[in-house]
Amino acid sequence: MPDYQKLYTTLFNKITDIIEELQEVQRLTEELYLQSEEDEESTID
């Protein structure tokens, strides 16, 4: 019989890792976007 607790824990941990990675990538892209806006504003002035 499969060890369902181990299966669930493994799945849960991997999903959690992926969610954290996606959140970090989102933060990074938001920072890049904001920097690009600042660069555009400085060239307009």
The percentage of residues in the chain with a pLDDT greater than 70, rounded to a whole number, is 96
What is the pLDDT averaged over residues 21-38?
95
13: containing domain? 1-45
Residue 41, pLDDT above cutoff 90: no
CA angle 7, 9, 14 (to 5 degrees): 100
What is the pLDDT averaged over residues 11-36?
97
Residue 4, pLDDT above cutoff 80: yes
Q: Domain count for the chain, please give it.
A: 1
pLDDT tier, 39 (very low <50, low <70, confident <90, very high otherwise) = confident
Q: How many CB atoms lie within 10 A of CB 6?
A: 9
Residue 33, pLDDT above cutoff 80: yes
